[in-house]
Amino acid sequence: MQKEAAWLLEQLSGLVAKGVLDEAAAARLRAHYAEAAGGPRLGWGMILLATGGAALVGLGIILIFAHNWENWTPGVRAGLSLLPLLVGQGACALALRRDSRALSEAAALFTAIAIGASIALIAQTYQFGGDLPRFLMTWLLLAAPLVYVLDASAVASGCWLLVLGWVTAHQHSGWWAQEGTWQDALRLPVFLALFCLPLPHLMRHIRLDRGGPRVAWMLRSAAVVFAIGLAFTAGYAQEDALFIIYASAAAAAALAGDRYFSGVHGMWGNPLQLLGRLGAFVVSLSMTMEMGLRNLDWPHSTLMLLPMAFGGAALWLSWRQFQAGDRLVAPLLGALTPLLYLLPPLKGNALAIIVAHLYVLALAGALVRTGLRSSQLALANLGASLLAALALLRFFASDLSYVVRGVGFIVTGVSFFVAMLWLRRRVRGAAP
Amino acid sequence: MNAARKFLFAAVCLVQLAVPASLIAKHEQTRSAGTPYRFQAAPVDPNDPYRGKYVALRYAVEREPVPFADQGFVYMGYNRRVYAELGTGPDGYARLVKVHDERPAGVDYIDVFTRHLAERAQGDNAAPTAIHVQLPFDRYYLPEDVAPQVEAAYIEAARKAQSNTWAEVRVRDGHGALVGLFLDGKPVQP
């Protein structure tokens, strides 16, 4: 039954694309067969108990070892270093035999922590030199298979955190440290390769149960790690290019959240949509400022692949959303990356500022209109907030007196509240 | 659990154990069969933070540029792994004799990491023929309660003009294992 249900769930996206099923029917089938395909969904309590318990036990054992460490000979220390790992592997074997998801998550997380502890303890016993990036990469590569063997999503999130640790540490120490060297050129490809290690696991669970909490948690971890990690992959000379990269990633994430997760989660349960929209909000506002435009530049290194990939994905998703009936927000989000490619040559020209303002006004209007039409108050609020933020920014950037600015803030704030109340009334009136 | 998954799980467990076990085996072999060298300590920058439970180590040989083994040596930037041929000076302390970009045969050597090229004298336009390197054993772990005192003693001892403070390292096939730290000739017990 489990295999058949998993097969059916994997077919749903294709069936929706071909028009055999509509998205609502697919969502109902997902909800119905998710339990059979992957076992019962773990509730918050179970996830916290299993993973938190495993983490605490692992860390407790490490602390006990550390406290008595100097009393043991190097041979005993080396042997004891492997003990947590062996215990974790035993627990993993038990979890696999019992086919228990809660136990699998806990055992895999414990083993993942034990791997790091074992290597660190051996390094301490034998006085290894300090190379944090290499340690983190070794830890990551040894822990990553647990994601697949035990179907462990907590370890997948842990792997992304290790990737983040690696990319932040290698800028400062070890054999990856220096700017302008061959390590610098490899930083982005290696970051992307390491980041992709747990992705097939996430994709599988999106196909099986995109409404489940484990998918939402993994998406949150992946999105946050990617966003922060990306900033560390760019050398100092490439920092200006991050603007276009983040803009294209935000547009692609918002559109992917709309297309693949809309209606499955609420706003907080749809991290791609939430982070993507917030990113597009910040980026579009930034490009209306002279300072934002001054720092805008095209990427010239391997980083240039990212906005091309994300921008291409955003264009394709916006076209699919346009076909599905979103005639306003999706095309504007899709246009964000091409627009940012057009702006750098216009730096210092008033036309760039005018184009940026027109884009923000159009996006804000589209968000409000789509929110009203689809009875999504959050979307309408986002559009109104974008308008209010644009108005406030102009007040900040102007040479007007403090009194005039103060009155302007008050008028904008009151207008915002009035608009909120009006939007709320309209959305409630439009709701069935 | 089907047979393929059992096999996969067993393989993962073996690899997870093999990595730390190989580290243990490599260091045990070097400690037991490696050639001993004494690396004279150099003062540590007092601004370097004392991180965790170890003493940060620096060596006198890191202050002197090491000549290239041949003129074909190409400098590829910081942190590139190269191989330093070892010798012993008249004072009994280890010396880095030459630096090779490939593993030398028939001599003791250790893996080191490149730093900057040797400074040239004013008016000297010739290409550099030596390079600064960093040794890989840069920390000595100690119990938490004694580490601060040992670090203070280490800094004090390493500052002396005729420093009698050294790290004992065993070397085998390019791999160096730090086996002891001596302050003013007395061993520090980890």
At residue A316, what is the residue type? W
**CA-based nearest distance B153→chain A, Å:** 19
Q: Do the beta carbons of residue B112 and residue B100 sit within 8 Å?
A: no
Window 150-189 of A, Cβ < 8 Å to B? 174-178, 180-183
Phi-psi region of B106 (alpha: psi -120 to 50; beta: other; left: phi over 0): left
> Cβ separation of B136 and A129 shorter than 8 Å?
yes
Query: What number of CA atoms fall less than 13 Å from residue A54's CA on the CB side?
Result: 28
Sort out which chain A residues have CB atoms less than 8 A from B187's CB and list them: none
The tens digit of pLDDT for each residue in A357-394 reads 899 999 999 998 888 888 788 888 888 889 888 888 88
**CA-based nearest distance B173→chain A, Å:** 16
Please state, rounded to an integer, the average pLDDT across all residues of chain B.
Answer: 81
**pLDDT range class, residue A35, cuts 50, 70, 90:** low
Residue of B nearest to A138 (CA): B19
At residue A25, what is the residue type? A
> Cα separation of A53 and B25, whole Å?
33
Sort out which chain A residues have CB atoms less than 8 A from B78's CB and list them: 177-178, 181
Token pair of A112 as six digits: 């993942």
> Cα separation of A416 and A212, whole Å?
35
Identify the weakest region by mean pLDDT among A162-171, A241-250, B154-163.
B154-163
Average pLDDT estimate for A195-211: 91
What ipTM score was computed for the predicted complex, to two decimals? 0.74
Which of A92, A126, A146, A176 to probe by mutation at the B interface, max B CB count within 10 Å? A126
Identify the weakest region by mean pLDDT among A27-31, A198-202, B168-172.
A27-31
DSSP three-state, residue B189: coil
Q: How far is C-alpha B190 from the chain's CA centre?
A: 18
Q: Do the beta carbons of residue A232 and residue A167 sit within 8 Å?
A: yes
> Cα separation of A51 and A101, whole Å?
11
> Cα separation of A296 and A246, whole Å?
12
Average pLDDT estimate for A109-130: 84
SS3 sequence of B9-24: HHHHHHHHHHHHHHHH
Q: Do the beta carbons of residue A302 and residue A250 sit within 8 Å?
A: no
pLDDT at A174 over 50: no
Sort out which chain B residues have CB atoms less than 8 A from A104's CB and list them: none
Please tell me the pTM assigned to this model: 0.77
Torsion of CA A216, A273, A163, A44, to 10 degrees: -20
Q: Do the beta carbons of residue B43 and residue B63 sit within 8 Å?
A: no
DSSP three-state, residue A258: helix
pLDDT at A173 over 60: no
The tens digit of pLDDT for each residue in A38-63 reads 555 555 566 666 667 777 776 776 66
Please state, rounded to an integer, the average pLDDT across all residues of chain A.
Answer: 80
Query: What number of CA atoms fall less than 13 Å from residue A211's CA on the CB side?
Result: 18
Q: How many CB pairs under 8 A join A and B?
A: 96
The tens digit of pLDDT for each residue in A1-16 reads 555 666 777 777 777 7
pLDDT at B41 (0 to 100): 77
pLDDT at A108 (0 to 100): 93
DSSP three-state, residue A423: helix
Q: Do the beta carbons of residue A277 and residue A255 sit within 8 Å?
A: no
Q: What percent of chain A stands above pLDDT 70? A: 79
**pLDDT range class, residue B46, cuts 50, 70, 90:** very low
> Cβ separation of A96 and B5 shorter than 8 Å?
yes
Residue of B nearest to A172 (CA): B79
Q: Does A86 touch chain B if contact means CB atoms closer than 8 Å?
A: yes
**CA-based nearest distance B107→chain A, Å:** 23
**pLDDT range class, residue A176, cuts 50, 70, 90:** very low
Phi-psi region of A180 (alpha: psi -120 to 50; beta: other; left: phi over 0): left
Q: Does B190 touch chain A if contact means CB atoms closer than 8 Å?
A: yes
Sort out which chain B residues have CB atoms less than 8 A from A174's CB and list them: 79
Which residues, 6 or more positions from A320, have their beta carbon under 8 angstroms from its beta carbon? A259
> Cβ separation of A178 and B77 shorter than 8 Å?
yes
Which residues, 6 or more positions from A327, have their beta carbon under 8 angstroms from its beta carbon? none
The tens digit of pLDDT for each residue in A17-31 reads 777 777 667 777 776
Window 116-135 of B, Cβ < 8 Å to A? 135
pLDDT at A347 (0 to 100): 75
Sort out which chain B residues have CB atoms less than 8 A from A173's CB and list them: none
pLDDT at A265 over 60: no
Q: Does B75 touch chain A if contact means CB atoms closer than 8 Å?
A: no
Which residue is associated with the tokens 């504007």?
A332
Q: Do the beta carbons of residue A359 and residue A284 sit within 8 Å?
A: yes
Window 15-74 of A, Cβ < 8 Å to B? 69-70
Q: Does B137 touch chain A if contact means CB atoms closer than 8 Å?
A: yes
pLDDT at B49 (0 to 100): 38
> Phi first, then psi: what are they for B172, rounded to 5°?
-150, 120
pLDDT at B138 over 70: yes
pLDDT at A364 (0 to 100): 92
Sort out which chain B residues have CB atoms less than 8 A from A96's CB and list them: 1, 5-6, 9
Q: In chain B, what is the greatest distance between 2 CA atoms, to the nearest angstrom?
A: 74
